[in-house]
Chains A and B, each alone.
Chain A
């Protein structure tokens, strides 16, 4: 890049960072005492032992800008030429810290003794990184495929259509497509469609069992949002608009986010703010829907899994969205030998793959290093199988457990529920 183009993109990046600085950010930076406890909360720190991955350090570009331009003393220091400036070289160096070694799992945000929500600030800092041209290739690819094809993996409706036919063949049930006026629009993730096709079969069976009226949309089936992972509001907003437009066109009351963590936080928490208005529908994670069906007695199950099962809480679902009890209620329904990992729920440890890390091929070694924390947690309780409810976590758990020669299969909770449904004829009888 020419020096002129470089300074232009740097200025664009700094402007994006300036736009992200709000009262919480200023309060957080004003409060950090450099105690280093965030490092004990981060699997990238604990498992690599490298202090450069300390969460608060990852925010140094944002902090420097805040201090220099948003504080009295910082402005004095800048005027005297004493403040360190954020430059292109710094942002280039920080790319690894902000993307490769952070899944935005938010564990540091829960542990910080002064209350700094570091994850909130990492998300914001990524806006400046993208704008200044410092995002990883893997994420740029995923984001541009998402914009171009609707799927970060370049998956098209015809692939899903083949899967729909399979599901219809094996279940004898119809998978509703483009049905207007139903209760739920179901979204999927490409990762799920490719790696875990059993999910679609499971919800088809469950919704038929519970008498739920639902549909898929040919206009938009993808729930994930690569724009949020890379940190680009424009891309993220465009992807959210597609969901809103599909849901509005079909006039549905609710949208269901699939077994995917970030897809849920993207559409549930960030989406309305990205498009600048509330939705004309409500958003639920599939686990919330299933637990609601359980609570209202619409989920009749029989038999229980008898082997020792444990569970991985996806960060985005548990720590970042308060969905903790629901999956345990559902486990109770179908498992008689369930044991929680020691630190779970709000304090659970990330699998190491979220927040765009799994789309960033360069980060593969760090992703596996971070997984060692999860591995240690699993070893503590020695389950025969792991259960989770996020396709990215599930893929990471499968790959990680295989990497370490641990023979522990991983299953999705939705499928497990589907396997225990009371046959329809029996329910009527």
Chain B
């Protein structure tokens, strides 16, 4: 592990296995923790269903209402940009698709490298903007905890290290590629124990929201 190649082999091997295991088990534990709690029976005569409105809210809550958009355009626009950018960099970069193909056995078309490169640069800038916003906006600063900054860092590092690796800005290459993979592992390890769980649980939360309101005949 003392040489860059040894380091790369380690992060691609045992470290990745460990990170994936912590991610999967941790996330499974969180989902079990949520669903085991259940809900009390509801005896009130319903005005509407739960399943339909629940699934509808999973979709509709992705779009901000016009009033909120006008009051918080930065949150909405920058939030959308970096979420999409992150997903594109993760899922549509051809070397990543190769990796998924190796692990999952399935592949999909990617975007040309220069396109992903440009999107990654925009995403990095958008994430920096969210950090500045978090530090400066009175509400965000007041409600932010150490966890928010840790999560920002572990989300930012894979993008930054990926960008540096792609442009060969750090030498030797195996070192920066290894650091890139390590940053992803850090992300995976932190994931189940922080607000990163929202990647999965936001869909559950939205379903409950839609179901609770839907039962009362309200489109939420």
Contacts and interface: CB of A to CB of B under 8 A. Distances in A.
Interface of A: 21-28, 30-37, 39-41, 45-46, 49, 51-52, 54, 56-57, 70-73, 109-117, 120, 268-273, 276-279, 282-283, 319-323, 342-343, 346-347
B139 A36 contact: yes
Contact of B67 (A25, A35, A270, A347): A347
Nearest to A32: B195
B143 A56 contact: yes
B208 A115 contact: yes
B216 A320 contact: yes
Given A26-B34, A36-B137, A72-B30, A322 B217 contact: yes
Contacts of B206: 114-115
Interface string B186-215: 000000110101100110111111101100
A30 B37 contact: no
B198 A32 contact: yes
Given A110-B220, A322-B216, A347-B67, A31 B202 contact: yes
Nearest to B148: A34
Contacts of A110: 65, 213, 220
Nearest to B63: A113
Given A114-B205, A120-B212, 12 more contacts: A22-B39, A24-B212, A28-B208, A35-B140, A51-B138, A57-B142, A71-B30, A110-B220, A111-B64, A271-B44, A272-B42, A322-B217
Nearest to B144: A34
Contacts of A23: 34-39, 208
A10 B206 CA distance: 32
Contacts of B144: 34
B2 interface: no
A112 B33 CA distance: 23
B69 to A, nearest CB: 10
Contacts of A319: 218
Interface of B: 26, 29-30, 33-45, 47-48, 57-58, 61-62, 64-65, 67-68, 71-72, 75, 79, 134, 137-145, 148, 192-193, 195, 197-198, 201-202, 204-210, 212-213, 216-220
Contact of A30 (B34, B142, B207): B34
A115 B209 contact: yes
B44 A34 contact: no
B209 A109 contact: yes
Contacts of B193: 72-73
Contacts of B35: 23
21 contacts: A22-B37, A25-B37, A34-B143, A36-B140, A39-B139, A40-B72, A54-B142, A54-B143, A57-B142, A70-B33, A111-B64, A113-B61, A114-B198, A114-B201, A115-B57, A270-B44, A273-B43, A278-B45, A321-B47, A346-B218, A346-B220
Given A37-B72, A272-B44, A116 B33 contact: no
B43 A276 contact: yes
B37 A26 contact: yes
A331 to B, nearest CB: 20
A226 to B, nearest CB: 20
A279 B43 CA distance: 8
A271 B65 CA distance: 32
B220 A21 contact: no
Chain A CB within 10 Å, residue with most, of B64, B209, B212: B209
Contacts of B143: 34, 36, 51, 54, 56-57
B220 A28 contact: no
A156 to B, nearest CB: 30
Contact of B209 (A35, A116, A272, A283): A116
A269 B216 contact: yes
* 7 A-B pairs with the lowest CB-CB distances in the bound complex, closest first: A322-B217, A115-B206, A272-B43, A51-B142, A115-B209, A30-B201, A73-B193
